[in-house]
């Protein structure tokens, strides 16, 4: 049976089907691992490990599939789940962003997901700096080599005070999720 990235992962009664979730994650990870994007990551001498964790958090904790994921979901994984639930260190951040960029390029190319562009847009230097702070790092010193192939759309943005950035992000994330729960498009 061919893989359908839009497969529903709920049973007849509307509950999340754990077997379907596991199968979905395994199949998508296998397809990504065989992709040219993943082969490029391995040619750099890196292992694929962060995509599997991203999918696990998205499917099991946020209960969204890649076609349903938006940039806020991805940022929650990068800034909350990875630092809080994995052994990620500052040294891993460049690799995380590089691998996830490859994954989102793969799903954009292979499945033409509309949300992939937004997810790719947040995999940048600014997010890397926020990830450093999330794992407890003091200064932002990112190794540029792994990210050299990707675009950094936020180079020219005005940097907000940390407290204001947190308030705005939290408010927007809550507003977005509330609108989703009420069934309105955001």
Instruction: Quickly tell me which residue has 């696990």 as its tokens.
Output: 56
What are the boundaries of each domain within the chain? Answer: 18-152, 156-186
CB of 98 within 8 A of CB of 150? yes
Query: Which positions of the chain have pLDDT values less than 70?
Result: 1, 137-181, 183-186
Say how many residues make up the chain.
186
Cα–Cα distance between 48 and 41 in angstroms, integer?
8
Cα–Cα distance between 89 and 112 in angstroms, integer?
32
What is the SS3 assignment for 16?
Answer: strand
Residue 10 β-bridge partners: 16
Show Cβ contacts of residue 54 under 8 Å, excluding neighbours closer than 6 positions.
74, 77, 100, 103
Neighbours of 30 (CB within 10 A): 10
pLDDT computed for residue 169 by the predictor:
61
pLDDT computed for residue 158 by the predictor:
41
Structure tokens at 40: 């490029």
pTM confidence score:
0.74
Largest Cα–Cα separation, the chain = 51
- 106-130 residues labelled b (16+ CB within 10 A) or e (exposed): bbbeebebebbeebbebbbbbbbbb
């Amino acid at each position: 049976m061919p893989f359908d990235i839009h497969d529903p992962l709920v049973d007849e009664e509307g509950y999340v089907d754990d077997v379907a979730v596991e199968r979905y994650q395994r199949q998508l990870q296998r397809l990504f691992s065989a992709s040219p994007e993943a082969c490029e990551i391995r040619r750099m001498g890196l292992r694929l490990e962060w995509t599997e964790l991203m999918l696990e958090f998205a499917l099991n904790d946020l209960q969204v599939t890649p076609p349903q994921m938006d940039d806020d979901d991805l940022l929650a994984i990068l800034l909350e789940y990875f630092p809080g639930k994995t052994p990620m260190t500052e040294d891993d951040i460049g690799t995380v962003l590089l691998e996830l960029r490859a994954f989102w390029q793969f799903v954009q190319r292979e499945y033409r997901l509309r949300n992939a562009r937004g997810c790719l847009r947040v995999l940048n230097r600014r997010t890397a700096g926020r990830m450093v702070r999330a794992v407890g790092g003091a200064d932002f010193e990112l190794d540029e080599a792994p990210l050299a192939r990707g675009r950094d759309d936020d180079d020219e943005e005005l940097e907000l005070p940390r407290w204001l950035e947190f308030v705005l992000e939290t408010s927007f994330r809550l507003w977005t999720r509330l609108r989703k729960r009420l069934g309105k498009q955001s």
